[in-house]
Structure 1
Amino acid sequence: MDLPDDHSPEQQRIRSIYRDWLADERIAAYAWHRADIIEQDAARRRVAGTLLAQTLGPDLGKLRVVDVGCGTGGFLRQLVDRGADPCRLAGTEYQEQRLVLARMRSAPGIRWHLGDLDFAAPGSFDLAVANTVFSSILAPHARAALASDMWRSVAPGGWCMLFDFRYNNPRNPNVRRVTRDELRQMWPAAESRYRSLLLAPPIARRLARAPRIVAELLATLAPPLRSHFIYMAHKPA
């Protein structure tokens, strides 16, 4: 991967932002036990699971997957729970602290890589995933480079999968939304799937104490209030 590299201004900016975020009290807003976070996680698992079954099939045992910006490995652990072989899974991450936690919490056999996708041979995966990664990259050329590397790493007939933001956060200049036009430009897909999900976090937090059906109805009946999306792009066979 040529951009971003360890010495690029964009890469240094991203590293600095995440170091500050991990040390900031704001991380408490994403604690796993919060009612709104539990609901968001359930919705995300449901939509992602449905799309994976529709595109790659219900049997994940032979699936080769790389999670780009894997964090502490949560998505890969979900795949293992659903039948994926840990020895066929890999995760990349720029924050070494997160990889330490990923190794500690995850099944043996998963490959963990500190850095870019440069370790992956062309066509070595059936699925390349990036969860809230592209919105953290502000430079268009860096986004394009990462998209190109993900596409290169996927075998013909494989898929790229993104979970990310539909809207900008006016309070956070370090996050920029990913538009549908960008998605179409990044990958010359033979087929694609797009699903919006999750109530915008400020709304979800305010409804945390309300009956669950209130948030579910609002998310169902008012799609513009959904803050995230999952997109899958199929590489031509």
Structure 2
Amino acid sequence: MNPKNEVERIKQVYRGYREEGRQSLWRLENPGNAMIYRERQQTLHALLDEAGFLPLAHCKVLEIGCGSGGVLATLLEWGAQPENLYGVDLLLDRIDEARTRYPGMHFECANAERLPYEDQTFDLVLFFTVFSSILDQSMRQNVARESLRVLKKTGAILWYDFRYNNPANPNVRGMTKAEIRRLFPNAQMTLRTITLLPPLARRLGKATPWLYPVLSKVSFLRSHYAGLIYKNASI
């Protein structure tokens, strides 16, 4: 697939998601979604804390595929400073929304294959369900290479993405551990499986507080990897 065509495909897919109201599937009013979010935040906080990144007061952070900035904004709770938070996205309307919602942060409409930043600028680069939306292998490799270029030698990628294909959505492809290692072959990684399969989690209703923890102990029901990928493998 031509990378240029892949960029246009991704833009079209995400415009379609917005028109269909797909984002509403993730509303936190649903107890399952709320539990997914809480578990994700707890896991990522623990990973960053164990790696010595917290508090984030002096960390410069870039999120690739930042959407309207909601994920970046959660880092403020962990000590990040707005002026140190940067986001890029392919869709200008999402960037415009992010700039309106979070005027103290920095947002650019850009293709992550060519990031508008100098080498070794960031302490952390965030990828949240980004690579699973890129079906073209050459584009995946380009984005991975660029993310390492702008990452400081002591920096790390904060990762959260599907590990399974979604049979109901041909526009995503699961990121297995082997695929992640192909993209970052020289990196040291800390990857954990989390997140009860969302279609299942959303159906738990009032039983969510006790049933979610029980079901999520079953390894094949955990649908995502969360982790840190270090630029310097000696860390």
Tell me if both proteins adopt one fold, taking TM over 0.5 as the criterion: yes
Whether contact under 8 Å (2:166, 2:172) holds in the other structure is yes
- The 5 A counterparts of 1:129-168 are 129-168=126-165
Same amino acid, percent of matched pairs: 33
2:169 alignment counterpart: 172
Distance 2:230 2:24 in 1: 36
SS at match of 2:212: helix
Distance 1:111 1:148 in 2: 22
Structure 2 residue runs without a partner (length 5+): none
1:50-61 matches, cutoff 5 A = 50-61=46-57
CA distance in 1: counterparts of 2:47 and 2:225, whole angstroms: 12
**1:60-209 equivalences in 2 (<5 Å):** 60-106=56-102, 108-117=103-112, 118-209=115-206
Cα pair 2:44 2:227 within 8 Å, conserved: no
**Structure 1 runs (4+) greater than 4 angstroms displaced:** none
**RMSD of aligned C-alpha atoms?**
1.6
Deviation at 1:37? 1.4
1:227, CA displacement in angstroms? 0.7
Q: Which amino acid aligns with 1:105?
A: R
Deviation at 1:190, TM superposition (A): 4.6
SS at match of 1:209: helix
Q: CA deviation at 1:226?
A: 0.5
Q: Deviation digits for residues 18-74 of structure 1, max 9, x if unmatched? A: 001101043322223222211111111111111111124322111011000001111
Q: Which amino acid aligns with 1:172?
A: N
Counterpart position of 1:41:
37
Q: After superposing the two structures, state which structure 1 stretch, 120-129 or 187-196, moved more.
A: 187-196
Give 1:10's aligned amino acid: E
Question: What does the per-residue CA deviation read over 1:151-179, in whole Å, with 9 as the maximum and x for residues that have no partner?
Answer: 11101111012210010001110000011
Unpaired segments of 5 or more residues in structure 1?
Answer: none
Q: Calculate the TM-score normalised by the size of structure 2.
A: 0.92
